[in-house]
Amino acid sequence: MTELAKLPGIGRKTAQRLTFYLLKQPVETATRLAEAIRTVAAGDGCGECGTLTDEDPCAICRDPRRDATLLCVVEESSDVTAIERAGRFRAAITCWRPLSPLEGVGPEALHLDRLMERWRTGERGCGK
């Protein structure tokens, strides 16, 4: 319960309520939740678009209605959420780390060639 209460927006009472809920569930429920949290914390995410998610590929990349020739490049997974919340954008979306020489992220780390190939061909799978 202490760890749940450390999450943003979750106070002591909500953490207690979540704990009691989990205690009433089959152990598989808690195991799936723990694995989802581990996946997000490890930064694994979607292998196609780089969005932090516990599914690979993510729901956006699996969506056959997406126009893969239109590619929206965002910096953070939270940006994907904001765009998806608008509900009108049907392009493929990919997360791309910004240049950060101090963190060792130079142009070669961005794999811009794969991003351009994905955009040019409309194919998926450019990666993180």
Residues that bind Zn ion (CB under 5 A): 46, 48-49, 57-58, 61
For Zn ion, the closer CB: 48 or 74: 48
For Zn ion, the closer CB: 61 or 74: 61
Angle at 40 between CA 61 and CA 50, to 5 degrees: 35
Closest distance to Zn ion from the beta carbon of 48 (Å): 4
Specify the DSSP class assigned to residue 54. Answer: S
For Zn ion, the closer CB: 61 or 71: 61
Cα 9 to the center of its chain, rounded Å? 20
Count of residues for the chain?
128
Closest distance to Zn ion from the beta carbon of 72 (Å): 12
Closest distance to Zn ion from the beta carbon of 59 (Å): 8
Contact 92, 116 (CB under 8 A): no
